[in-house]
Amino acid sequence: MAKRRRLIAPDTTELEQMEAGFATKPSISPFETKSTTPPIAKVAGEAASLNGMAAVTDRVALAQDQGDAARWRDAQDAGLVAEMLPLEQIDADFIRRDRMVEDEEAMAELLESLRVHGLRTPIEVTKVDDGYGLISGFRRLDAFRRLAETDPRFAEIPAFVREAGTGQGAYVSMVEENELRANLSPYERGRIAVLAAGQGVFPTTEAAVDVLFAAASKAKRSKVRSFAVVHEALGDLLQHPISLTEKAGLKLAAALRDGAQSKLREALAGVTVADPKSEWMLLEAALKEAPEVSKDKAKGGRPQQVQRIPSQALSGGGDMRAEVTADELRIRIRGRSISVEEAEKLLNEIARKLN
């Protein structure tokens, strides 16, 4: 009888070697469909596939981020993105302001609102060589500067940076904001038109009125021109100009067009008045003494044309400007301290030249 052979189970090492051999052995059957790829190769393939999907997701996210960045830059270029700007970099006197006086009661309310709620509407500025020029938001900037004296939170202010430059756009933005927030007085409207024309932003006062108050009716623009006439002729002497009513301003403008400028200036020159009512009484008295209006004189027109002489810088500081009408010369020296004796010598020298 044949002797039976005893079977011995392979150990773990032998089993692992057998599995590796089967996995690497190519299939000899053409009908074999089952993959013989080793497990580690499957894992690597799946990882590569997942990595490819992640790359696609990243590219989509990157494209979205790039689109958002482009839209953000476009909004920033259009001045629609508020930036935090240090107060000391903003020039509040970049353009001539249309509002002449500030209501301290309203300012106190604004200060309290800023302390409690912060600034809800950023100011508007334009980029200049050494910082930013203020276009609109003078009261808000002034309030921030007052608050910054005791609270460092207000050392910077939110601002829209516009490409307005020093031209007409800057003045239009300023006037539009003040007309919406708090109506300008009739005199302030006429005054800013004269100032803008005087700075060369507009060719004439009439053109300034048409652009700055383009949304106003024709009748309202006509009234603004009348107050511009008042500012041109009497602005340097009036002490309470913004208190002039519409009726009073139109009356003055009509008298100025009819030649009453000299009488009105004489009435105001060298006089200190306590209040608007006293000033108007002086003007009314002068109007009664002024030449009577001709009945057949055509309506409209302007008073004596004011021609401005280009300013001249003074070597010791300041500048000198002059305005000429048919019967008057006005010389203004600003930014320079002049004693009474120097002023008298200057007048004597001018008198000597004219005699």
Tell me the domains of the chain and their CATH numbers: 82-239 (3.90.1530.10), 307-354 (no CATH)
What is the pLDDT, as a whole number, of residue 12?
Answer: 60
Rounded to an integer, what distance in angstroms lies between the CA atom of residue 134 and that of residue 170? 9
What is the pLDDT, as a whole number, of residue 299?
Answer: 45
Which residues, including other chains, have CB under 8 Å from residue 166's CB and lie 6 or more apart? 94, 95, 126, 133, 201
Which ranges of the chain does DSSP label H, i.e. alpha helix?
12-24, 39-77, 104-117, 138-148, 168-181, 186-198, 205-212, 218-234, 246-257, 261-268, 276-289, 340-354
Residue keyed to tokens 């950023």: 122
What is the pLDDT, as a whole number, of residue 295?
Answer: 46
What is the pLDDT, as a whole number, of residue 296?
Answer: 47
What is the pLDDT, as a whole number, of residue 321?
Answer: 75
Q: Checking DSSP bridges between strand 123-128 and strand 131-136, what pairing results, if any?
A: antiparallel
What dihedral angle (degrees, nearest 10) is formed by the CA atoms of 79, 82, 85, 91? 40
Q: Checking DSSP bridges between strand 329-334 and strand 319-324, what pairing results, if any?
A: antiparallel
By CB atoms closer than 10 A (0-12, 13-18, 19+), residue 318 is: middle
Residue 228: how many CB atoms within 10 A of its CB? Answer: 26
Does the model's pTM come out above 0.75? no
What is the pLDDT, as a whole number, of residue 247?
Answer: 93
Low-confidence ranges of the chain (pLDDT < 50): 166, 180, 295-303
